[in-house]
Chain A
Amino acid sequence: MLDAKIPAGPLDDKWTDYKGHCKLVNPANKRKLEVIIVGTGLAGASAAASLGELGYKVKAFCFQDSPRRAHSIAAQGGINAAKNYQNDGDSVFRLFYDTIKGGDYRAREANVHRLAEVSANIIDQCVAQGVPFAREYGGLLSNRSFGGTQVQRTFYAAGQTGQQLLIGAYQALERQVALDNVKMYARHEMLEVVMVDGKARGIIAKDLVSGKLERHFGHAVLLCSGGYGNVFYLSTNAMGSNVTAAWKAHKKGAAFANPCFTQIHPTCIPVSGDHQSKLTLMSESLRNDGRIWVPKKQGDNRKASEIPEEERDYYLERRYPAFGNLVPRDVASRAAKERCDAGYGVGTSKQAVYLDYGAAIERYGRIEASKEGKDNASIEEIITWGKGVVKEKYGNLFDMYEKITGENPYEVPMRIYPAVHYTMGGLWVDYELQTTLKGLYALGEANFSDHGANRLGASALMQGLADGYFVIPYTIGNYLADEIYNKPISTDHEAFVAAEKEVSERIEKLMSIKGTQTVESFHKRLGKIIWDKCGMARNEQGLKQAIAEVQALKKEFWSDVKIPGTVHEYNPELDKAGRVADFIELGELMCIDALNRNESCGGHFREEYQTPDGEALRDDENFMYVAAWEFKGDSNWELHKEPLQYEVIKPTQRNYK
Chain B
Amino acid sequence: MNLTLKVWRQKNTNEKGGFETYQVKDISSEMSFLEMFDVLNEQLIRDNKEPIAFDHDCREGICGMCSMYINGKPHGPWQANTTCQLHMRAFKDGDTIVVEPWRAKAFPVIKDLVVDRSAFDRIIQAGGYISVNTGNAVDGNALPIEKAKADASFAAAMCIGCGACVAACKNSSAMLFLSAKVSHLALLPQGNPERKTRVVDMVAQMDKEGFGACTNTGACEATCPKEISIANIARLNQEYLVAGLTANK
Question: Looking at chain A, what size class is its interface with the partner chain?
Answer: 35 or more
Interface residues of B in 131-153 (CB under 8 A from A): 131-141, 143-147, 150-151, 153
Cβ contact within 8 Å between B111 and A570: yes
Give A272 to B140 CA distance when docked, in angstroms. Answer: 43
Given A74-B60, A175-B129, 18 more A-B residue pairs with CB atoms under 8 Å apart are A65-B65, A66-B161, A71-B57, A71-B63, A85-B141, A124-B140, A125-B137, A126-B140, A130-B130, A130-B153, A136-B147, A160-B158, A174-B125, A178-B126, A239-B56, A273-B28, A469-B134, A570-B12
Cβ contact within 8 Å between B157 and A132: yes
One of B45-53, B91-99, B241-249 contacting the partner:
B45-53
Interface residues of A in 471-489 (CB under 8 A from B): 473
Contact residue among A123, A134, A177, A521 (Cβ-Cβ distance under 8 Å from B140): A123
| 29 chain-A/chain-B pairs, Cβ below 8 angstroms | A66-B121, A67-B121, A68-B161, A69-B63, A74-B63, A124-B137, A128-B132, A128-B138, A128-B190, A129-B129, A129-B130, A130-B129, A130-B190, A135-B144, A135-B145, A135-B150, A139-B144, A139-B146, A160-B62, A170-B124, A172-B129, A184-B121, A239-B57, A240-B57, A275-B35, A400-B61, A406-B89, A572-B53, A573-B45
Give A435 to B137 CA distance when docked, in angstroms. Answer: 30
Q: Which residue of A lies closest to B123 (CB)?
A: A174
Cβ contact within 8 Å between A139 and B87: no
- B235 in contact (CB, < 8 A): no
- B175 in contact (CB, < 8 A): no
Give A167 to B48 CA distance when docked, in angstroms. Answer: 41
Cβ contact within 8 Å between A73 and B58: yes
Chain B residues in contact with chain A, CB under 8 A?
12, 28, 30-32, 34-35, 38-39, 42, 44-46, 48-51, 53, 55-65, 78, 80-81, 85, 87, 89, 110-111, 114, 116-118, 120-121, 124-126, 128-141, 143-147, 150-151, 153-154, 157-158, 160-161, 184-185, 188, 190-191
Known contacts A136-B147, A172-B129; is-contact A518 B45 (Cβ 8 Å)? yes
Cβ contact within 8 Å between B118 and A125: no
- A540 in contact (CB, < 8 A): no
Give A202 to B223 CA distance when docked, in angstroms. Answer: 43
Give A316 to B244 CA distance when docked, in angstroms. Answer: 60
Contact residue among B39, B125, B138 (Cβ-Cβ distance under 8 Å from A275): B39
Contact residue among B87, B121, B129 (Cβ-Cβ distance under 8 Å from A404): B87
Cβ contact within 8 Å between A573 and B51: yes
Cβ contact within 8 Å between B130 and A50: no
Smallest CB separation, B42 vs chain A (Å): 6
Q: Which residue of A lies closest to B26 (CB)?
A: A275
Cβ contact within 8 Å between B125 and A130: no
Taking CB atoms, residues of chain A closer than 8 Å to B136 are 128
Cβ contact within 8 Å between B118 and A277: no
Q: Which residue of B lies closest to A139 (CB)?
A: B144
Give A160 to B32 CA distance when docked, in angstroms. Answer: 22
Cβ contact within 8 Å between A124 and B138: yes
Give A330 to B80 CA distance when docked, in angstroms. Answer: 34
Cβ contact within 8 Å between A69 and B50: no
Give A164 to B154 CA distance when docked, in angstroms. Answer: 8
- A551 in contact (CB, < 8 A): no
Taking CB atoms, residues of chain B closer than 8 Å to A172 are 129, 132, 134
Smallest CB separation, B67 vs chain A (Å): 9
Give A73 to B162 CA distance when docked, in angstroms. Answer: 13
- A98 in contact (CB, < 8 A): no
Q: Which residue of A lies closest to B43 (CB)?
A: A518
Taking CB atoms, residues of chain B closer than 8 Å to A134 are 150, 154
Instruction: Return the 9 tightest CB-CB contacts between A and B, nearest first.
Output: A139-B144, A171-B129, A128-B137, A124-B137, A132-B154, A178-B125, A127-B140, A69-B63, A50-B134
- A597 in contact (CB, < 8 A): no
Cβ contact within 8 Å between A518 and B42: yes
Taking CB atoms, residues of chain B closer than 8 Å to A125 are 132, 134-135, 137
Contact residue among B58, B65, B137, B153 (Cβ-Cβ distance under 8 Å from A132): B153
Smallest CB separation, A138 vs chain B (Å): 6
Give A66 to B67 CA distance when docked, in angstroms. Answer: 14
Interface residues of A in 230-278 (CB under 8 A from B): 236, 238-240, 272-273, 275-278
Cβ contact within 8 Å between A569 and B134: no
Give A167 to B177 CA distance when docked, in angstroms. Answer: 14
| Binary contact readout A44-88 vs B (1 if CB under 8 angstroms, 0 otherwise) | 001001100100000000001111110101100000000101000
Give A565 to B45 CA distance when docked, in angstroms. Answer: 9
Contact residue among B50, B114, B121, B145 (Cβ-Cβ distance under 8 Å from A564): B50
Smallest CB separation, A540 vs chain B (Å): 35
